[in-house]
């Protein structure tokens, strides 16, 4: 499977798959296959069908520049647009990025963490202090070895704010926290940070919000150790759901297909 994974294009598959692109490509492959059939090119048609379907599956599309034309083509077609944008198996409303939602703003949280000796300034940059960073990575390494259901149990035991946990898998792995989905790598990172902060922070809401802010210091996925990639919320067809706002930059694990951090928009 490693060979297949290296062919995979995470920007256009999984949750980033653009359904207009997929549909237009599938139609073009079918047309090409039929054309070859009509010309009695059986083997060629078989090859085109196989390679075409595999490429659409692995890379999102096979015809070059599809993202530039397919969405407009589909938008101009009589097919209802909702067919592609709202028909997601997973309701994005049920997803959230953090273990706990607090109403503290980022600046307050970071200054509290700085006062507690958790973060320090290094020139323009903010960094975790060395002891905190070491303890956090050690705890993440431990939590990443837990099965998904053990991780869910651990989350419920650790956090008073959580009353019910479950697990959910749809290609990506999620812990269901009081009915909402939180990605496995996010749970590992935040739960580890929450534990480390026990020693440094007394205020529960600062501890929860602080644990969430630790995710911006990640450079690799806490579950699979893949280097994180910067991306943006826009899918390839520009199927962006918040039209009056510019898309946020996000940190993602391409292997787990999970978002690890959303940089606050300016
Ligand atoms: Zn990962």
Q: Which of 47-56, 137-146, 161-170, 240-249 has the lowest mean pLDDT?
A: 240-249
What confidence score (pLDDT) does residue 86 get?
A: 43
Look at 107 and 243; give whichever has higher pLDDT: 107
What confidence score (pLDDT) does residue 84 get?
A: 55
- Spacing, Cα 116 to ligand 1 middle (Å): 30
SS (H, E, C) the chain: CHHHHHHCCCCCCHHHCCHHHHHHHHHHHHHHHHHHHHCCCHHHHHHHHHHHHHHHHHHCCCCCCHHHHHHHHHHHCCCCCHHHHCCCCCCHHHECCCCCCCCCCHHHHHHHHHHCCCEEEECCEEEECHHHHHHHHHHHHHHCCCCHHHHHHHHHHHCCCCCCEEEEECCCEEEEECCEEEEHHHHHHHHHHHHHHCCCCCCHHHHHHHHHHHHHHCCECCCCCCECEEEECCCCCCCCCCCCCCCCEEEEECCCCEEEEECCCC
- Spacing, Cα 222 to ligand 1 middle (Å): 7
Ordered by start, the domain boundaries in the chain are 2-85, 92-224
- Spacing, Cα 124 to ligand 1 middle (Å): 28
* Nearest partner of 220 among 211, 233, 212, 229, judged by Cα: 229
What confidence score (pLDDT) does residue 151 get?
A: 98
- Spacing, Cα 5 to ligand 1 middle (Å): 13
User: In the predicted model, is pLDDT for residue 124 greater than 50?
Assistant: yes
- Spacing, Cα 244 to ligand 1 middle (Å): 31
User: In the predicted model, is pLDDT for residue 61 greater than 90?
Assistant: no
Q: Which of 74-88, 89-103, 179-193, 210-224 has the lowest mean pLDDT?
A: 74-88
User: In the predicted model, is pLDDT for residue 168 greater than 80?
Assistant: yes
What confidence score (pLDDT) does residue 208 get?
A: 96
- Spacing, Cα 169 to ligand 1 middle (Å): 14
Band of pLDDT at residue 80, cut at 50, 70 and 90: low
Q: Which of 115-119, 141-145, 176-180 has the lowest mean pLDDT?
A: 176-180
- Spacing, Cα 259 to ligand 1 middle (Å): 9
- Spacing, Cα 27 to ligand 1 middle (Å): 33
């Amino acid at each position: 499977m490693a060979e297949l994974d290296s062919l995979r294009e995470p920007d256009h598959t999984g949750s980033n798959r653009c359904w207009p692109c997929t549909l237009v490509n599938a139609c073009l492959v079918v047309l090409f296959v039929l054309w070859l059939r009509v010309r009695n090119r059986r083997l060629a048609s078989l090859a085109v069908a196989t390679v075409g379907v595999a490429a659409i599956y692995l890379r999102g599309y096979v015809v070059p520049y599809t993202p530039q034309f397919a969405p407009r083509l589909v938008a101009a077609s009589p097919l209802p647009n909702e067919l592609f944008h709202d028909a997601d198996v997973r309701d994005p409303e049920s997803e959230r990025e953090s273990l706990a939602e607090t109403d503290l703003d980022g600046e307050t949280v970071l200054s509290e963490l700085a006062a507690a000796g958790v973060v320090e300034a290094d020139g323009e940059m903010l960094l975790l202090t060395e002891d905190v960073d070491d303890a956090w990575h050690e705890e993440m390494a431990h939590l990443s070895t837990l099965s998904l259901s053990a991780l869910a149990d651990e989350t419920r035991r650790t956090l008073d704010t959580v009353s019910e946990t479950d697990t959910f898998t749809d290609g990506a792995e999620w812990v269901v926290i009081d009915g909402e989905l939180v990605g496995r790598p996010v749970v590992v990172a935040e739960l580890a940070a929450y534990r480390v902060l026990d020693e440094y922070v007394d205020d529960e809401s600062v501890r929860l919000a602080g644990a969430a802010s630790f995710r911006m210091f990640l450079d690799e996925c806490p579950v699979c150790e893949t280097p994180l990639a910067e991306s943006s919320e826009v899918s390839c067809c520009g199927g962006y759901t918040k039209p009056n706002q510019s898309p946020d930059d996000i940190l993602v694990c391409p292997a787990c297909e999970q978002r690890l951090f959303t940089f606050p928009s300016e």
